[in-house]
Amino acid sequence: MRLLLIGPPGAGKGTQAARVAHAYGIPAISTGDIFRANVDEGTPLGLQAKEYMDRGAYVPDELTNSLVLDRLAQTDAGAGFLLDGFPRTLAQVYTLDDCLEATDGGLDAVVQLTIDTDEIVQRLLRRAKEQGRSDDTEDVIRKRLDVYQEQTHPLVAVYADRGILVSVDAKGDVGDVTERIFGALGGRIRRAEG
């Protein structure tokens, strides 16, 4: 099963991705986490990515696409995966399409997490204090929201046109949001045992 979680920064994608992926027995693949791990390890990719991340910009597609294609080719992603934070641009959508076509099919569902801007800014400022992420300052948060609106929000319509989009209200308790996601995915996807 192949899922994608899409939504603005601060919608809780990372938290929900881990919970949903666990329930379905598939890996959660987060490009943000992969970039942050590279930044922490000081790899050449990390050094390049940090420049963009610190100012709230997207890492260029040529760096991002190859990283995701390599990750999807690993054996644990063979039976399915949950993508968190990729694709984020139309070019990335087409890269993913080509990759999945070369295997045996596309995404089963795209879950859009919806939340209003005030709630997002509050959540991200809270996270800045708790996790000390360098891209969680107020200026960078606003920039990231603008970039999301411009470059990523249009993807929602693309997946809606394909008939695979479900929208879930991301406000409120973490467990309630997870249950809403399971509800929205409905009977079409069976959860793993345990």
Residue with tokens 């809270």: 126
CB 108 within 8 A of CB 99: no
Candidate residues 16, 31, 38, 178; the one interacting with ligand AMP per rule CB under 6 A: 31
What string of DSSP letters covers 82-128?
EEES---SHHHHHHHHHHHHHTT---SEEEEEE--HHHHHHHHHHHH
- Among 58, 82, 141, 145, the residue binding ligand AMP under the rule CB under 6 A is 58
Looking at residue 158, the DSSP 8-state letter turns out to be H
Is 1 or 155 the residue whose CB approaches ligand AMP more closely? 155
| Number of residues in contact with ligand AMP under rule CB under 6 A | 16
Report if residue 86 touches ligand AMP, rule: CB under 6 A: yes
Site for ligand AMP in 92-121 (CB under 6 A): 92
Which CB, 33 or 108, lies closer to ligand AMP?
33
Rounded to 5 degrees, what are φ and ψ at 104?
-140, 50
Which residues contact ligand AMP by CB under 6 A? 9, 31-32, 35, 52-53, 56, 58-59, 64, 85-86, 88, 92, 135, 144
